[in-house]
Amino acid sequence: MGREAIILAGGKGTRLRSLVNDRPKPMALINDKPFLFYLLNYLSKHNFTHIILAVGYKHNIIREYFGTNLREIKLSYSIEKEPLGTGGAILKALKKSENPNSFILNGDTYFPVSFDQMEKIANQQNSDLIIALRKLDNVSRYGTVLMDSSNRITGFSEKKGEETPGLINGGVYYLKNSSFLKTGFPEVFSFEKDYLEKFALSHNFNGAVFTNYFIDIGIPETFKQAQSDFFTFEV
């Protein structure tokens, strides 16, 4: 069985509105190709056979560009009529899931982690969830993730604006679908606040630490940075 992923691609890109105002944020053009293209291209090289795109705002732009297949990958669309929050988007997308486990990725973040390593840790630890963590020398823009010596996630710290090193949530997850589904959630909720933070101590969440290239294009500075960084990417 091939791998399955859910990509959260419903964002409007409010903070990018001055640069990207006619399309969903994951479709923002990086060197004449949508950011989402680079993400899907990476997944196509790592045994993914089914990708569910959780879409909302101007979703027709995404569907018209990518269609229902990318190389050997089947593309499905989970369409939000009203914003459901990140958790609600995942919950809805899982109705189209065909696997017991799903990778989940933010559609505005490029973090080419080892999916093999995340699966290995999940199997060893019998994890409900694996979070891909990124080591940063300066975490002032982000909240940080707390983890013990056995790779167990123990909590999350709010953004403090301090220029200190730490681990951040890289926006790539490996989820045991049954564990998530049986927890019980409303239709609209935040994956980060209402699942990760709320259940960190009662569920078995583990971390996989990476030092790979990492960028999210959520602000003008990083969007512009991607324009130069991605010249070296294979497509």
Question: What domains does the chain contain, in order, with CATH numbers?
Answer: 3-232 (3.90.550.10)
How big is the CA angle at 18 (ends 14 and 20), to the nearest 5 degrees? 70
pLDDT in tens, 184-213: 899 999 999 999 999 999 999 999 999 999
Find the range with the poorest average confidence among 25-39, 118-132, 167-181, 214-228.
214-228
Share of the chain above pLDDT 90, in %: 71
What is the pLDDT averaged over residues 33-58? 94
pLDDT at 151 > cutoff 80: yes
More confident residue, 111 or 20: 111
Quote the CA–CA distance of 205 and 196 in Å, as a whole number: 8
Predicted structure pTM score: 0.93
Find the range with the poorest average confidence among 40-44, 80-84, 142-146, 220-224.
220-224
Quote the CA–CA distance of 229 and 26 in Å, as a whole number: 17
CB 26 within 8 A of CB 109: no
Q: Which of 165, 5, 195 is nearest to 86 (CA)?
A: 195
CB 235 within 8 A of CB 33: yes
